[in-house]
Amino acid sequence: MHEKIMRNLILLFLVLLNFPAFSQSLSYIYPKPNTDKHSIQTPIVLRFDRAIDPSKISLSIKILGEKSGDHSFDVRISDDNRTVSIRTSRPFALDEDVIVSINGEKFSFRTSKISPQEQKELFAKYFLPSYPEISKIFANAPKETDDIPLDSIPSDFPKIIINSVRNPAPGYIYLANFGSGVDRSYLMILNNDGTPVKYRKVPLPGFDFKMQPNGLLTNARIITSHIPQGWGWAEAYMEVMDGNLKVIDTLQCKGGYIADFHDFKMLPNGHYLLISYDPQPVDMSQIVPNGNPNAIVLGSIVQELDADKNVVFQWRSWDYIPITDTYAPLDGIALDPVHINAVELDYDGNLLISSRHLSEITKISRETGNIIWRLGGKRNQFTFINEHPENAPTYFSYQHDIRRLPNGNITLYDNGVQHNPQYSRAVEYKLDEQNLKAQLVWEYRNNPDVFGETMGSTQRLPNGNTVIGWGGVSTGHIRIVTEVNPQGEVEFELSFPKGVSFQTTSYCAYRYPYPTNLPEAVVSFENISSLVQNQNDSLYFRNDTTDTGIIINFTELND
């Protein structure tokens, strides 16, 4: 840590020696130059195309707001030794141009017209009067209760109905009930007979309850909620829990943003991926016929924090996605055109994001922020093979839970809002990213159909089975969790009682082991590529200074 602080100080005062122009040495700049609507607390992030050696490279930085004047700042070098995160000591002014000068080279961006507090007030003004039950529920949320011994399960614990058990995969079901009675929400780990192995009562509905790759458990802890025109988003923070569901850490977005509940990832290199929503005033009369000149439009944010919780990457829909790419209505006063609900670290280090209201999966470069390709939606670049022609052109729609499989394929939960008739399914595509082809290689559509209009998840298990969390199923054939084998045969099925308001659904559902079995070591592609340079190189794993005996030897290296 002392060495990192010294490097930060060196960066503040020295002049760039190796590279004549920062545009040739920086692969990523945030905020994206010449963009607007940035938070007055926005971080500034610079990523070099190679590791920084403080003895050979340094920066002269000046930050000037047209209204707020010169800004002092703090500099951090992230653990990749390439990324510089800059935080100003005070906020910028609203609606001002900010010029950042790096060794004489300049770029600029413009701040938002409203502050983070004003964003909350605008949403409360337009939405809460229309949804008075939301104000009542979140104002009177009960206190959290400690875990109760399993021989005295509380009387308000949700009733679990096991519809089918045949030959499910090893492990336990992880889910959280969701409904109108927030005083009866539980995070729960269940046996195949529906009895709880572990549970925790939470004061507001549990969202995105799951196990991370390192074996820790996480849950999105709701702070407040806004439900514009029936679309859900909520301000939250992320709880990190041990196997006993005890909170050991919390995560929150930085730079003036509040985390959203939809997805949260802990990465193998110790970094974190979070999602946020960004309400901004937009004159929609200049964009669409009958647009409201006073509209409040939600942008979507993806933010990466390093192990020290500094922002090292940020991506905004404002900078890359036209509002008119949406399938959502654009003639109201409160609009949510993108609605990111999942983010996945791809096998090549880039990111896959799911945007519900675009009916699109987007691959973005984690190195530059640029879009690599767009799958589905109005700007689809792929040819679909073996799909159902009656669903064209939106073969999947309003989807959730994009995931990359070890075999290179992707899975997602197709909510099917744009199908006619509407139905939901789990799908797997084989992608040819060079020739932009997407081949449907597996799907599960229940018989009779299940339609989860909102929420939902798809998880491929090590034995080839697939766990489907059906999300917001409110009519027709109601199921909460279905596990099927590769042939589409049901191995396990679970539901909640019909007509019980406090347990209508679960945001997602997964099968994991319990106890959580923390891995002995986690190695990412980035770790390997930075440490292994030659054939027959080896990685040795130590616990502090003690050898663990774990060695990985690389006998062959491919690009």
Beta bridge partners of 353: 343, 362
Chain centroid offset of residue 81 CA: 25
Q: How far apart are CA 42 and CA 220, in angstroms?
A: 23
Q: How far apart are CA 139 and CA 102, in angstroms?
A: 47
The β-bridge relationship of strands 295-305 and 371-375 is unpaired
Q: How far apart are CA 156 and CA 56, in angstroms?
A: 64
Q: What is the pLDDT of residues 438-490, one digit of tens each?
A: 999 999 999 999 999 999 999 999 999 999 999 988 777 788 999 999 999 99
The answer to whether 484 touches 468, Cβ cutoff 8 Å, is yes
Q: In the structure, what pLDDT confidence band is assigned to residue 169 with cuts at 50, 70 and 90?
A: very high
In this predicted structure, what is the pLDDT of residue 499?
63
Q: Measured over all CA atoms, what is the biggest interatomic distance in the chain, rounded to whole angstroms?
A: 70
Query: Hey, what are 234's tokens?
Result: 């909520």
Q: How far apart are CA 401 and CA 35, in angstroms?
A: 29
Domain coordinates in residue numbering, the chain = 2-113, 117-512, 520-559
Q: How many CA atoms lie within 13 A of 541 on its CB side?
A: 13
Helix, strand, coil share of the chain (percent; to 5): 15, 40, 45
SS (H, E, C) 60-107: CEEEEECCCEECCEEEEECCCCCEEEEEECCCCCCCCEEEEEECCEEE
Q: What is the pLDDT of residues 407-431, one digit of tens each?
A: 999 999 999 999 999 999 999 999 9
- Which superfamily is assigned to 117-512 in CATH? TolB, C-terminal domain (2.120.10.30)
Q: Is the pTM of this model over 0.95?
A: no
> What's the CATH class of domain 2-113?
mainly beta
In this predicted structure, what is the pLDDT of residue 518?
62
Beta bridge partners of 277: 300
Contacts of residue 491, defined as CB under 8 A and 6 or more positions apart, other chains included, come to 164, 165, 166, 167, 168, 169, 465, 483, 484, 485
Q: Is the pLDDT of residue 376 over 50?
A: yes
Average of per-residue pLDDT across 96-114 = 94
